[in-house]
């Protein structure tokens, strides 16, 4: 109980800190992006002009010395190479801007500092966010495969549910790391979501080391850990269980075979019939497959509204 | 005024305390049919607004010496025909959304925005301004 309280205070502090940092990062990202975009188009224009100048110069007659000098300059400039490479370099920079922006948004989604009440949320997009945040813990050891089913919105504490996913993903990464070591091989983390009449099921499967039978009864105990000292606090699964079972009246179960891997299954109750999902806050993060299934805006006004939401969603993080 | 064609372009005013942001935005719009002006503070922005006919003002949210929301509130009174857009790197947008609902400004742009988002938003803002002008003329 005390550990839980400490954790929730800590999460809140991290959330506030994250919101502040996100704001600070977003401002320079604005002009890094603007400038890279400007330089890209300016560079292409400039090279185009130079290339035409070069052709003209080489056609010109006149003094032999001047012609040689010009030829020399153009050779040194190697406009063709620059024109081929520089836009790529700038394109890479813009991609970097996009990546940083995504990470900042995911961090903030994850931290949700002021979210004390339950809200309706799209579990699939919460999982996508958790995957981005946890990426560092698994990217060298595991590939990720997702099979997201169409889900109704789930009424939950989104910050806490994110925490559960994060804990399970980090554990999955560590369990696979035990098997593949630093040999460069990769395991697999598979995430599936599905719905039933009154609940949503999330399965997180890893191809890791598995949990020995003698430990299986204890993994949800606070302070129980199999990780090396300093690597785990033994709180992760205890807190995950408490969030899922006590706070959301769901279930958290697992199946594990040593040497084969583990599947954790979370079941969260959702109210009544699956509702048609509207995604006001998920926006561009969603795979188009699911966007296609929502009502398509057909009047210009609706399209405008959708564009506004989309814009809002991109930064409502 | 476009010196070549002699056409009067609509004026866009950007307000941000970070000069690098202003430079970046100005460069982004270099080929767009706008006259771009910039101001580094709310005070400087109001000075410009009192002398130049500005079609759209795009202001940052957080600035020393007066928030963007306060500035746009003033503009709403002093220059009611100017379309107001807020720009913010903040991640919690509940307050911003509330102000939009109240009509404090027309749109918001989140930092960082892609140049296409900026251009599209400005086009829409100008379209709205033209509609406002037309309806004002009709009701005269």
Instruction: Note the pLDDT of residue A204.
Output: 96
Residue A296 has pLDDT above 60, yes or no: no
Residue A37 in contact with partner chain B when CB distance is under 8 A:
yes
- Quick one: average pLDDT of B7-19? 92
- Quick one: average pLDDT of A12-27? 79
CB contact under 8 A, A30 and B23: no
Residue A28 in contact with partner chain B when CB distance is under 8 A:
yes
Q: What is the ipTM of this complex?
A: 0.70
- Quick one: average pLDDT of A130-151? 88
Determine contact, residues A261/A255, Cβ cutoff 8 Å. no
pLDDT band at A273 (very low <50, low <70, confident <90, very high): very low
Residue B67 in contact with partner chain A when CB distance is under 8 A:
no
Q: Which of B28, B109, B124 sits opposite A34 (nearest CB)?
A: B28
- Which residues of chain B from 105 to 134 reach within 8 Å of chain A, CB to CB? 107-115, 117, 120-121, 124
**B87-126 pLDDT, tens per residue?**
988 767 777 877 887 788 888 898 888 888 999 999 999 9
Q: Which of A27, A104, A315 sits opposite B21 (nearest CB)?
A: A27
- Which residues of chain A from 202 to 231 reach within 8 Å of chain B, CB to CB? none
Instruction: Note the pLDDT of residue A106.
Output: 72
Residue A314 in contact with partner chain B when CB distance is under 8 A:
yes
Instruction: Note the pLDDT of residue A221.
Output: 78
Residue A309 has pLDDT above 60, yes or no: no
CB contact under 8 A, B110 and A315: yes
Instruction: Note the pLDDT of residue A8.
Output: 65
Chain B residues with CB inside 8 Å of A19's CB?
90-92
**A214-224 pLDDT, tens per residue?**
888 888 877 77
Q: A24 or A274, which is more confident? A: A24
Residue A54 has pLDDT above 80, yes or no: yes
Residue B44, CA distances (Å) to B22, B51, B97 in order: 14, 11, 26
CB contact under 8 A, B28 and A30: no
Q: Which of B90, B107, B110 sits opposite A314 (nearest CB)?
A: B110
Q: Which of A30, A311, A312 sits opposite B112 (nearest CB)?
A: A30
Q: Which residue of chain B is at minimal alpha-carbon distance from A101?
A: B112
């Amino acid at each position: 109980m005390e550990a839980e309280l400490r954790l929730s205070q800590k999460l809140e502090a991290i959330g506030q800190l994250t919101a502040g940092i996100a704001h600070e990062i977003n401002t320079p990202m604005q002009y890094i992006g603007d400038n890279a975009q400007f330089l890209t188009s300016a560079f292409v224009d400039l090279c185009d002009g130079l290339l035409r100048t070069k052709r003209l110069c080489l056609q010109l007659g006149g003094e032999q010395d001047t012609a040689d000098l010009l030829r020399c300059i153009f050779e040194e400039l190697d406009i063709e190479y620059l024109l081929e490479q520089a836009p790529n370099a700038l394109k890479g920079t813009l991609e970097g801007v996009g990546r940083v922006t995504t990470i900042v948004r995911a961090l903030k989604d994850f931290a949700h500092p002021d979210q004390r009440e339950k809200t309706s949320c799209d579990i699939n997009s919460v999982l996508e966010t958790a995957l981005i945040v946890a990426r560092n813990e698994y990217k060298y050891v595991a590939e990720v495969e997702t099979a997201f089913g169409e889900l109704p919105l789930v009424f939950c504490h989104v910050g806490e549910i994110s925490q559960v996913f994060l804990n399970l993903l980090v554990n999955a990464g560590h369990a696979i790391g035990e098997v593949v070591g630093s040999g460069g091989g990769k395991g697999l983390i598979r995430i599936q979501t599905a719905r039933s009449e009154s609940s949503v099921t999330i399965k997180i499967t890893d191809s890791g080391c598995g949990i020995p039978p003698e430990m299986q009864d204890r993994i949800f105990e606070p302070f129980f850990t199999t990780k090396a000292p300093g690597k785990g606090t033994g709180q992760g699964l205890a807190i995950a269980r408490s969030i899922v079972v006590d706070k959301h009246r769901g279930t958290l179960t697992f199946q594990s075979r040593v040497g084969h891997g583990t599947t954790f299954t979370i079941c969260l109750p959702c109210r009544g019939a699956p509702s048609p999902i509207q995604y006001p806050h998920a926006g561009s993060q969603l795979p188009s497959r699911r966007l296609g299934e929502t009502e398509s805006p057909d009047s210009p006004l609706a399209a405008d509204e959708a564009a506004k939401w989309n814009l809002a969603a991109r930064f409502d993080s | 005024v476009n010196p070549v064609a002699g056409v009067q372009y609509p004026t866009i005013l950007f307000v941000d305390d970070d000069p690098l942001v202003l430079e970046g935005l100005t460069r982004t719009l270099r080929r767009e049919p706008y006259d771009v002006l910039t101001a580094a503070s709310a005070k400087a922005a109001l000075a410009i607004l009192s002398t130049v006919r500005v079609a759209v003002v795009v202001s940052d949210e957080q600035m020393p010496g007066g928030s963007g929301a306060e500035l746009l509130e003033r503009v709403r009174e002093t220059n009611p025909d100017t379309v107001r857009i807020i720009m913010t790197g903040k991640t919690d947008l509940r307050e911003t959304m509330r102000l939009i609902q109240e009509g404090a400004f027309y749109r918001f742009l989140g930092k960082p925005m892609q140049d296409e988002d900026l251009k599209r938003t400005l086009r829409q803002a100008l379209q709205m301004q033209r509609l406002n002008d037309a309806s004002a003329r009709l009701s005269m």
